[in-house]
Amino acid sequence: MLKSTLFWFCALISTIHATLVTDVQGIAFQSPFAGKSVSNVTGVVTAKTSGGFYISGTSSSDVRASNGLFIFSETTTVLNKVAVGDMVSVTGTVSEFRSSSDPDDLTATEITSPTAANVVVLSTSNTVSPVKLGTDRIPPTQALSALDVGPDGWLSVPNNQSRVDTVNATLVPADYGLDFWASLEGQLVTVPSPLSVAFPNDFGEFWVVGDWPVTGLNSRGGLSITIGPDNIPDANPEAVIIGAPIDGTTNPVVSLGVTLSDITGVVQYQFGFYYILPLTAPKVLTTPTTTAPPTNITADITDICIVTFGDYNVDNFGPTATQLPTVASHIATHLLSPDIVFLQEIQDNDGATDDGVVSSNVTLSALVSAIAAVNGVTYDFVVIDPVNDADGGEPGGNIRQAYLYRSQKINLVSGSPAGTATEAIAVSSSSGVPKLNFNPGRIDPSNAAWEDSRKPLVAEWQTNGGATLFTVNLHLESKDGSSSTEGNSRPPVNSPVAKRTSQVDLVAEFVQSVLDIDSKANILVAGDCNEYLETRSVFASLTDIMSEMDELADVDPVERYTYVFDQNSEQLDHAFVSTALSNRQNAIQHIHVNNWMANIDERASDHDPSVGKVRLSFLLLSVLTTLTAICAQTYTISQNLSGSNFLSAFAYNESAIDYNNFGNVHFLSQSDAVADNLTYVDSNGHVIIKVDNTTDANGDSTFGRNSVYLESNEMMTIGSLLVFDAVHIPYGCSVWPSLFTQGQDWPDNGEMDLIENVNLATSNQYSLHAGSSSCVQSSSATSNQTGTTTSTNCTVVPSEDENTGCVVEDTQSDSFGAGFAENNGGVYAVLWDESGIAMWFFNRSSVPSDISSSQPDPTSWSTASAWYPASGCSPSSVFGPQTITLYIDICGAFAGDTTTFDETCSSVASNCTSLVQTASNYDNAYWEINYLRVFTTGTSNDAHAETVFSYKTLLAILVAASLELYMLL
């Protein structure tokens, strides 16, 4: 009896002094017991390594406190004492471990080196159910840490402004990735349906996401760095790295997009990241194809308007590089031999041998020969050899940028010598034309920003048609010295971001020096920037004066990647163009010949190449006194409506009641509208279309005022440009004018609203309406329009009475209403082609001269007021042939909406319908129209044709000019 009582008493004392695993872990990054002894910490052994074992204790309702814990011990007597499934009690000292060689790592909570006597096995053969990620716990998808403060979140500059262990914040696992994984530290978890988002590192460790919500997922299966919904760069915290299997098996070889069997393991912080250490290696289930499709951007050496270019960091490329035939094949068969190729990391003639050799002619000649052997295209090359060991990279390799070019199409502008490694390029004005002192040349090579770094290679080119193009080939400072994205420094160290920013600033200064002389200069800056565009502060000086081509071409943000590192598919390689090029036809694609390989060792480079095209802007003096825009898009008038032929081109939609919009109108037939003087041509030749403003209703509350609803007899098709010139648009409280186009079987085949607003509004609204659920205004549109987006969903849902559309409000206060009339009106235009739908408003003083001359060139116009790119809404599949429609409604669902009416008319009347009976309220409810013109591209039987100026066309112009010059002489 005494022994039993004593045993019970000792057990009670032991329980009283027990510490829970969740208490040890706490709810912050570091344990509240750090440096203290704890007794009888109890849990079931879930995994065992050569350096200790993991236990799972009683869980808590507070998900911030992990119930998993690592017990560090390398003592054989301790390790031999326990087995997976044992319930153990451990007494020892809590430690926050961090390797002295990794000062920027987070600390890992553990009990350190308990003696064998302090590890007691209480029972055996216990089981622990792992936490199923995606079901039991779901990782956040945007931010890593609350300490990543700044406009660019984890990419903000300055970085390294705070440290996780110093703040030791309470965890918020629902919002932040570091907090989420910290709240699972030491726990046994399962990753269901893992998807590999990267190649393995040198230790066979690889990143995955599981069957849980993710953002930034690209078509290959990687996680791209994108801008999140809060306008902050997405840090992809939902990915986790899989470490070496605990049982000694070997992880499989994986690549981007490989699917695997479920992974069960323990969460452990090590080597700068939160890992899952799998109990055993997973198996590969599926592997995607390694065949990357070639570009569909093709070079044509007879087209003097379009220049195609490639951009490729070829990764320490010497004359005997093993990747030489592969790189040559990529340029020939996947980039399709563009007119110019921007190359980075070209080594000298003996590669990485550090013997003072700097010339690279052998290296480049070897590549040129290899390309010619594949497809018969023979390139010339341009390069400036660097000072020995002065430009960074592999010691002795002397990497530098170079150009390949097809001399049948394009050549360096003559008249300036080639610069040397140490000579700075400068721009001067020659009769208003920018001229380089060196061609090629380097930007400010002695500037400290370029120390031990590649200097930009500048060249000026001229096509055989006479168009010029300035290019800048970049290879900016690498990210060596940066910290882990999951490290202690917040925001993470981005090294050396200040130097990279200075480099971009110097490039921007050079570009600006060219634009200061010729604001319409064709300039293309491309290369390996070693930085994400989402680090916006780095590129600010350049993006202020140039446009990034992925944004211009509206490449899906998740498909903008040329590099894969850690958990991220990322874009390090960029191309920027000047306004002259951004306003014209352009395209860019990233060709994943390297990062779609099945094995990291099979890649020819760690970068994927890109290929693009630009349409050059230039003028040629033709027949002496006329400047001919050689590369302008050609538009042909298909409908030219003004005066009396305007009204005859439309049918009058006669309806006693406005069934569509519930307006207080009677739409009249043509004969009645003419008889009531609602449609006519005035003495100035202007078309007048109006609401009856002579008849009072004499108290009739059901009165509907007479108006007009016109629908064009001819339809316009994709490839059309509609231009509408008016001096007055209907306005006034209760008035609702609209000029729009509409497909058959609305909302199928879509609707484009060019002019629409109501009451006393001062700015116009543009919108699209579609029957397709896949029609939205994509997020990238806002950077390529001057208007303000108020709604992005274009889809009409008749059953839910939803017809708002995707709306953009013009920012010009004279684009509608009284302000429009007071300024003698202006011009509206809508361009509908394969790239998207663009809409413009020009007030009278800013109407482009090419519109006035009926030779419109939208590529030369200012930024569109509203832009609906094809990536968000297909202009060819969502929109069918369109009928042009013009009307004036009264009240109804828009002007009569109580909230909308009160915004501008609450001081005029208590409600909309009370105004309808009084005729004088409609004195300004009329259209006064100069003309409406519809243009199509190319010939009338091919709306999508594009004029390509061949050498014969150019020759004809030159001959004409020469003949007139001869006659004058």
Q: What is the CATH number of the domain that holds 684?
A: 2.60.120.200
Which pLDDT score, from 0 to 100, does residue 408 have?
A: 95
3-state secondary structure of 695: coil
Helix (H) or strand (E) holding 827: strand 826-833
Single-letter amino acid code for the residue at 264 = T
Spatial distance between the Cα atoms of 282 and 192, rounded to a whole number of angstroms: 11
Higher pLDDT, 799 or 96: 96
Q: pLDDT of 739-798, one tens digit each?
A: 999 998 888 899 999 999 999 999 999 999 998 777 999 877 887 899 999 999 998 877
Q: What is the pLDDT of residue 834?
A: 82
Q: Are residue 384 and residue 499 in the same domain, yes or no?
A: yes
Total of domains in the chain: 4
Question: What integer pLDDT is reported at residue 797 of this predicted model?
Answer: 77
In DSSP notation, 864-876 reads: PSEEEETTTS-TT
Residues with Cβ < 8 Å from 559, sequence gap 6 or more? 218, 219, 224, 590
Determine whether 756 is an active site residue.
yes
Quote the CA–CA distance of 494 and 476 in Å, as a whole number: 14
Run of H or E residues at 935 = strand 926-937
* Distance between CA atoms of residues 842 and 812, nearest Å: 9
Residue tagged active-site, from 110, 185, 756, 928: 756
- Angle formed by the axes of helices 536-543 and 497-517, to 10°? 10
- Residue 951: is its pLDDT beyond 50? no
- Measured distance CA(631)–CA(615) in Å, rounded: 7
Does 294 reside within a domain?
A: no
My answer on whether 784 and 886 are in the same domain is yes
Could you report the per-residue pLDDT of 72-100, keeping only the tens digit for each? 999 999 999 999 999 999 999 999 999 99
Final residue of a domain: which of 258, 286, 314? 286
Q: Could you tell me if residue 321 is inside a domain? A: yes
Active site residue 751: yes
Residues 276 and 371 in one domain: no
Q: Are residues 467 and 563 in the same domain?
A: yes
Q: Provide the pLDDT confidence category of residue 658 given band limits of 50, 70 and 90.
A: low
Q: Which of 615, 646, 667 is the last residue of a domain?
A: 615
Task: Give tens-digit pLDDT for 536-584.
Answer: 999 999 999 999 999 988 899 999 999 999 999 999 999 999 988 987 7
Apex CA 929: angle with CA 927 and CA 932, to 5°?
Answer: 125
**Arithmetic mean of pLDDT over the chain:** 91
Q: Using 50, 70 and 90 to split pLDDT, how confident is the model at 656?
A: low
Structure tokens at 285: 């289930």
The sign one gets for the Cα dihedral 812, 818, 822, 828 is positive
Element (H, E) at 498: helix 497-517
pLDDT band, residue 8 (cuts 50/70/90): very low
pLDDT in tens, 332-352: 999 999 999 999 999 999 999
Q: pLDDT of 450-477, one tens digit each? A: 999 999 999 999 998 889 999 999 999 9
Structural tokens at position 705: 């005022």
**Chain Cα centroid distance, residue 563:** 15
Confidence tier at 17 by pLDDT (50, 70, 90): low
Instruction: Report the distance separating Cα 434 and Cα 867, nearest Å.
Output: 32
DSSP characters over 761-819: --S-EEEEEBS-TT-B--GGGGGG-SSEEEE-B-B-BGGGTB---EEEE-S-TTSSHHH
Judged against a pLDDT cut of 60, whether residue 959 lies above it is answered with: no
Q: Is the dihedral of CA 646, 651, 656, 658 positive or negative?
A: negative
CA 390, CA 175: separation in Å to the nearest integer? 45
660/274: higher pLDDT: 274
**CA 69: distance to chain centroid?**
41
Residue by residue, DSSP assigns 535-581 as: SHHHHHHHHTTSEEHHHHTT--GGG--SEEETTEEE--EEEEE-HHH
Judge if 576 and 510 occupy the same domain.
yes
Contact criterion met (CB below 8 Å) for 577 and 614: yes
**In the numeric block, which tokens belong to residue 959?**
């001959």
Residue pLDDT, tens place only, 97-140? 999 999 999 999 999 999 999 999 999 999 999 999 999 999 99
Strand, coil or helix: what is 216? coil
Element (H, E) at 336: none
pLDDT of 158 over the 60 cut: yes
Which residues contact residue 272 at a Cβ distance below 8 angstroms, ignoring those fewer than 6 apart? 102, 104, 105, 483, 484, 486, 487
Whether residue 259 is contained in a domain is answered as yes
H-helix or E-strand spanning residue 920: none
The CATH number that applies at residue 85 is: 2.40.50.140
**Taking residues 187-199, what's their average pLDDT?**
98
Per-residue confidence at 623, pLDDT binned at 50, 70, 90? very low
Pick from 408, 327, 397: nearest CA to 356: 397
**Please, which residues have CB within 8 angstroms of residue 729's CB and are 6 or more apart in sequence?**
737, 755, 816, 817, 820, 821, 825, 927
pLDDT of residue 661: 65
Q: What is the DSSP letter of 450?
A: G
Lookup result for tokens 């020969």: 369
Cα 638 versus chain centre, distance: 36
Average pLDDT over residues 156-165: 96
- Quick one: 591 and 672 in the same domain? no
Find the angle CA(733)-CA(735)-CA(738) to the nearest 5 degrees: 145
CATH of the domain at 559: 3.60.10.10
> Does residue 812 share a domain with residue 744?
yes
Does residue 399 surpass a pLDDT of 90?
yes
Q: Taking residues 225-237, what's their average pLDDT?
A: 96
Least confident piece of the model among 111-120, 613-622, 868-877, 892-901: 613-622
End-to-end alpha-carbon separation of the chain, Å? Answer: 133
Q: Decide: 307 and 75 in contact? Cβ < 8 Å.
A: no
Residue 297 within any structural domain of the chain: no
| pLDDT-based confidence at residue 654 (cuts at 50, 70, 90) | confident
d(CA 185, CA 237): 15
362 part of a folded domain: yes
719 φ/ψ angles, rounded to the nearest 5 degrees: 100, 5
Boundaries of domain holding 155? 131-286
Phi then psi dihedrals of residue 954, to 5 deg: -60, -45
DSSP notation for 401-431: EEEEE-TTTEEEPSSSPPP-TTPBP-EEEET
- Helical segments of 603-761, H only: 643-648, 670-675
Q: Domain for residue 630, yes or no?
A: no
Q: Classify burial at 656, counting beta carbons within 10 Å of its beta carbon; exposed 0-12, middle 13-18, buried 19 or more.
A: exposed
pLDDT at 128: 97
Structure pTM?
Answer: 0.77
pLDDT at site 942? 32
Give the single-character DSSP code of 941.
T
The 10 Å Cβ neighbour count of residue 432 is 7
Same domain membership, residue 900 and residue 768:
yes
pLDDT at 625: 38
Query: pLDDT > 70: what percent of the chain?
Result: 92
Do 605 and 650 share a domain, yes or no? no
The residues near 858 (Cβ < 8 Å, ≥ 6 apart) are: 633, 721, 829, 831, 838, 840
Report, as an integer, the average pLDDT of 307-311: 97
Does position 9 have pLDDT exceeding 80, yes or no? no
Final residue of a structural domain among 90, 123, 156: 123
251 assigned to some structural domain? yes
Amino acid letter, 195: L
Beta strands in 609-700 (DSSP E): 610-615, 619-622, 626-629, 635-641, 650-652, 665-667, 679-681, 687-690
Reduced DSSP (H G I as helix, E B as strand, rest coil) percent helix, strand, coil of the chain, to 5: 20, 30, 50
Between residues 824 and 962, the one the model is more confident about: 824
Number of Cα atoms under 13 Å in the Cβ half of residue 912: 29
Determine the average pLDDT of the residues in 435-442. Answer: 98
DSSP E strand stretches across 243-289: 259-260, 263-270, 273-278, 284-286
Residue at 1 is within a domain: no
Model confidence band, residue 800 (pLDDT cutoffs 50, 70, 90): low
d(CA 163, CA 534): 23
- In terms of domains, do 537 and 669 share one? no
- Going by their DSSP bridges, the two strands 568-570 and 131-132 should be labelled as unpaired
Cα separation, 457 vs 452, in Å, equals: 15
- pLDDT tens-digit profile of 245-298? 999 999 999 999 999 999 999 999 999 999 999 999 999 999 999 999 999 999
User: In percent, how much of the chain has pLDDT > 90?
Assistant: 81
Beta bridge partners of 402: 343, 383
| pLDDT exceeds 80 at position 673 | yes
Cβ atoms of 34 and 83 within 8 Å: the answer is no
* Cβ neighbours of residue 540 closer than 8 Å, sequence gap 6 or more: none
Pair (603, 680) in one structural domain: no
Q: Is the pLDDT of residue 701 over 50?
A: yes
Identify whether residues 777 and 794 lie together within a single domain.
Answer: yes
Which residue among 96, 460, 548, 751 is the active-site one?
Answer: 751
